[in-house]
Amino acid sequence: MSHKPIRKAIFPVAGLGTRFLPATKAVPKELLPVVDRPLIQYAVDEAREAGIEQMIFVTGRGKGAIEDYFDIAFETEITQRERGKDLSALDGTRLMPGNAVFLRQQEPLGLGHAIWVARDIIGDEPFAILLPDEFMKGGPGRGCMKQMVEAYEQVGGNLVCALEIPMADTPSYGVIDPGARDGVLTEVKGLVEKPKLGTAPSNLIVPGRYILQPEVMTILQTQDKGAGGEIQLTDAMAALIGTQPFHGVTFDGRRFDCGSKAGYIEANLAIALEREDLGDHIRRFATAELAQ
């Protein structure tokens, strides 16, 4: 059975990043680097690897630097060329005209609202959503969205990334009420946003990767505010359960919560340790620091 291909991805990047003040006073949190690549670059690379062609960024005031980042860096490129310097570090940072769409959310009304802002660009196609501060690290050629698209090609419908966490941490996340399991696929019978401690239906959370059918936009159009006074994407997705196939895909890889300072530092350390140019140095430094 063939399913409509996933050609478009939404990146909700309007958040203020207050947990990283004062850095985010002038720099969007999505441009904070993990070693030397911004978080948003990792997310776009993950989408490209999965075959996605059009990147839709839902931004807010003060986020113009994201638009500049994916454009030509004229002065840098000219200067580097004139000096005979290597420009390969800029590979993938320029999106082709028409492949990058930038929309303003205008009001901080929640993730569901940010997705709804992109409704006219999505049209009647299924689409992906990637939250850049959830840094998902798969193996070579096996990014999180690539794994999800492969699962989508099998079952269609709606999919969310599913990740096991300690039960004590579930109140901070959207949690899956699971049905039957088949390999990496888990049937989603329900979704609960930020359940009270001890009430979560499982320890499977939804860490910021989604493939959704366009009908979710119709639900978001008329949806009331939910938890935190925001329009919750989880509530809209829950309304699709029972009308369309809905599965969680267990991610084979590591997740770093770069919305938190601790997770962001962990991601920097993990990536640095993997790098041929940095790994040995950072390992020696970290070992010496821990020995003190």
DSSP-assigned states of every residue in 203-232: SEE--SEEEE-THHHHHHHHPPP-GGGS--
Name the band, by pLDDT with cuts 50, 70 and 90, for residue 232: confident
Contact 161, 249 (CB under 8 A): yes
Query: pLDDT per residue over 114-133, tens digit each?
Result: 999 999 999 999 999 999 99
248, containing H or E segment? strand 246-250
Query: pLDDT per residue over 202-221, tens digit each?
Result: 999 999 999 999 999 999 98
CA 119 to chain centre: 18
Is residue 182 classed as helix, strand or coil in its secondary structure? strand
pLDDT at 70 over 60: yes
How many CB atoms within 10 Å of residue 215?
16
Q: Which amino acid is at 175?
A: V
For the entire predicted model, the pTM comes to 0.92
Rounded distance between C-alpha atoms, residue 230 and residue 223, angstroms: 10
